[in-house]
Amino acid sequence: MPPKTTQDISEDDLEPVGDETARQAQRVVAAYAEDADECRMLLSMLGIGVKEA
């Protein structure tokens, strides 16, 4: 079986997720994260971290 290829995705190809989608994803990540630090890290990696005032 040939190896899977990866595509390079540029910043221009990405679109921001909607607010409701981001909130749902935040809930899922928070439910499965080991602790608050891991939750913050994962949300940041996904680009849906909590915005600080």
Quote the pLDDT of residue 51: 72
Quote the pLDDT of residue 11: 78
User: pTM of the full predicted structure?
Assistant: 0.67
Quote the pLDDT of residue 3: 66
Structural tokens at position 34: 């080991």
Per residue in 4-37, pLDDT (tens digit) is: 777 787 878 878 889 999 999 999 999 999 999 9
Quote the pLDDT of residue 35: 97
Mean pLDDT over each residue of the chain, to the nearest integer: 87
